[in-house]
Structure 1
């Protein structure tokens, strides 16, 4: 027999809670990381910028390539690149292989924020391990890997919410 209005069997949890809890966990990690980054001199960086900086990559990329990697239009990628350039995280340079194209490259500041982000994620994971235990965190990660489709770990998270 279902609990009234939930569609869930008695004693079980309603299905809508799972995605909300997963998203809340994601947001708690991201929000805390960005508070830490702000304290470390990166107050202007937003969560979407981290994805964009990863899409630029070590070797740089064109705005079209960044857009494809993020699952957004070239124009949307161009606007993000402009913001990142204004904040000093990327620079545009002539493509050495094709003088007609501009390549977006990470600056020292862009590399710094990515390094600090990686260190921050490690610290936050360690806090989850401290609170829940290493075995439970590892099991949660393993379970999530088992449930997501191949290729689900991608950079275009913005498109999941924008449609």
Structure 2
């Protein structure tokens, strides 16, 4: 394996391993800023995995098994995630009107508030990136990423995929 160049990154070609690390670092910086903002706005216990889980629950609700399948995690892990979201007041369990044997997990107003505030923060952060980099560069970066990412790019199973 060759040694990285002592030249500044701007004056040399990047190494292949840097691209995924830079993409992940950009993702991480946005998510860290999101959660710092959410903490100030009344959601201090929200974690990145909670956002994926609340999306998996969805507006119509879901069973814990469905949440697990959508997240790519085991039924047991989904049950623990749902229990934590219940403790935090983001979801509630309710009878399924179509099947009395099933329990649905549904978003509470607190959970809906978390998702709405998250969307607002994401818009603000995107605006900050546009102010720093230029709107055209950010739009071009988004277009390029859409071109390179598979069609079904929005996947909820990131936590399960990262966890192995």
* Cα deviation digits, residues 124-156 of structure 1 (max 9, x gap): 000001111111001000111111112132111
Q: What is the RMSD computed on CA atoms of the aligned residues?
A: 1.6
1:23 counterpart = 2:29? no
Q: Deviations over 1:48-101 (max 9, x none)?
A: 000000110001000111111111111111100000000000000110100000
Unaligned regions of 5+ residues in structure 1, if any?
A: none
**Partner Cα separation in structure 1 for residue 159 and residue 41 of structure 2:** 25
Tell me, in whole angstroms, the C-alpha distance in 2 between the residues paired with 1:153 and 1:123: 20
Q: 2:72, 2:161 within 8 Å by CA — same for their partners in 1?
A: no
Residues 14-34 of structure 1 show CA distances to partners (whole Å, capped at 9, x for unaligned) of 111111110100000000000
What is the correspondence of 1:1-163 to structure 2 with a 5 Å cutoff?
A: 4-6=2-4, 11-163=12-164
SS of the residue corresponding to residue 147 of structure 2 reads helix
Query: Which TM-score applies when normalising by structure 2?
Result: 0.93
What number of residue pairs does the alignment pair up?
Answer: 159
What stretches of structure 1 move > 6 A for 4+ residues in a row? none
Shift of 1:160: 2.5
Deviation at 1:12, TM superposition (A): 1.4
Give the TM-score taking structure 1 as reference length.
0.93
CA distance in 1, matches of 2:12, 2:127: 32
